Amino acid sequence: MDLSDSPAEAAFRAEARAWLTANRPDPPLPSGDTATGFALHVEWERMLFDAGWSVVSWPRRYGGREASLVEWLIFEEEYYRAGAPQRVTQNGIFLLAPALFRFGTAEQQNRLLPRMAAAQDLWCQGWSEPEAGSDLAAIRSRALRDERAGGWLLSGQKTWTTRGAFCTHLFGLFRTDAQAPRHRGLTYFLVPLDAEGVTVRGFGRLDGDEGFADVFFDDVFVPDDAVLGEVDQGWHVAMATTGSERGLTLRSPGRFRHTARRLVHLATTRGDDLDPLLADEVVQGWMAAEAYHLFTLRQVTDMLEGRDPGQASSLNKLFWSELDVRLHTTALELLGPAGELDGPWSRGFQFALAGPIYAGTNEIQRTIVAERLLGLPRK
Ligand SMILES: Cc1cc2nc3c(=O)[nH]c(=O)nc-3n(C[C@H](O)[C@H](O)[C@H](O)COP(=O)(O)OP(=O)(O)OC[C@H]3O[C@@H](n4cnc5c(N)ncnc54)[C@H](O)[C@@H]3O)c2cc1C
């Protein structure tokens, strides 16, 4: 693979860089996981959309600019480089949209994608439940067929829904066949959170942000066109798109290269008496971020040549989540006691600690790598 930009890619990069430099909020917005911060982030998302930058790789008819996968990576790199705001639309555009493109009907795509791109509908992910985290197939929330009304009645509870307290819609798995084997009787539903019978109860995180929510469903009616994919095939739809969450789209390398560059800057501005062991950690962290970048370029090449990365996204997830903890730990060591004060590094560290948990815990990813990539025997 030629790692330098082609003339068209260089022009794309220059255009993205110029727009982001001119328009990114300065000073940075408050956290998008607070009520005030979220509203400001939505304004930013709408600005991105108006300028054609909210979903660069999507078809034009849905608000994209049909950028290639490589251009998408370039945009991500420039986005983080500019220090632009976190994407509060990410669960929609990065997690639900790939499923909609693959499994949605034309009607669903036309109805949902443009509103998602324009940050009019804001989506959260409703998979986890109090008794179903790693063991996701233990889901108890159910959907009962309402034949007369032509739809479904949802009941149960979802938890840990990121920014659920502020979003307008939820995509989630519900049990539609209680008799079927656990993975088979689930269906993927698209639910407006203002539907009658939905109660959203936000709760705070340890870091003070307040966007998490429990979402309760009490006989919530949704019509048939709220089903994504086939009835009872929700597991298949969900698993086919977990690669988006673990791999490229949710956590592109631009994010970690930017953190690594900030770390190098921090180290080099702290004077000459840097502990050699700490200096070594900085260099190792920077190299690991570059390695992740190169690894994803190889994945992109595979994808462009028609090879599905499949379960390899579990490797990405293990790598980026542990890299993020490592980069932030090194930064806090560099900062010494001052690192414990509230600031970007200490907040970043607190969030990095969640990386090995969300998007499927790292213990589960290691089992996937062992069994499905390395072919080791199952327990
Ligand atoms: C910041 C953050 C955001 C999140 N956002 C969302 C969201 O938007 N929507 C959503 O649906 N969920 C969300 N989650 C929930 C997340 O998906 C779950 O926390 C995760 O799947 C783990 O489930 P659990 O918390 O129930 O832990 P458990 O499944 O109870 O696991 C507890 C521990 O046991 C280990 N363990 C469990 N089973 C096994 C096994 N078979 N082998 C080896 N070890 C095992 C786990 O690795 C973990 O260390 C979020 C979580 C976090 C931290």
- Alpha-carbon span 304 to 208, nearest angstrom: 42
Q: What is the pLDDT of residue 311?
A: 81
Q: Is 245 annotated in the active site?
A: yes
> What pLDDT is stored for residue 56 in this prediction?
97
Residue 64 alpha carbon to ligand 1 centre in Å: 33
Residue 304 is predicted with a pLDDT of 85
* Cβ atoms 211, 86 nearer than 8 A: no
pTM: 0.95
Catalytic residue among 245, 322, 333, 363: 245
Other CB atoms within 10 A of residue 314 CB: 26
| Residue whose CA lies nearest to ligand 1 atom number 43 | 363
pLDDT, tens digit, 9 for 90 and up, residues 200-243: 999 988 888 888 999 999 999 999 999 999 999 999 999 887 87
351 Cβ closer than 6 Å to some ligand 1 atom: no
Number of residues written out for the chain: 379
Q: For residue 170, how far is its CA from the centre of ligand 1 (angstroms)?
A: 19
What's the CA gap between 1 and 4, in Å, rounded? 9
Collect the ranges in the chain with pLDDT lower than 70.
1, 244-245
Cα 164-168-170 angle, rounded to 5 deg: 60
pLDDT at residue 158, as a whole number: 98
> Rounded to an integer, what distance in angstroms lies between the CA atom of residue 48 and that of residue 89?
11
Question: b/e string for 190-199 if b means 16 or more Cβ within 10 A?
Answer: bbebeeeebe
Whole-angstrom Cα distance, residue 38 to residue 29?
9
d(CA 43, CA 54): 12
pLDDT at residue number 38: 97
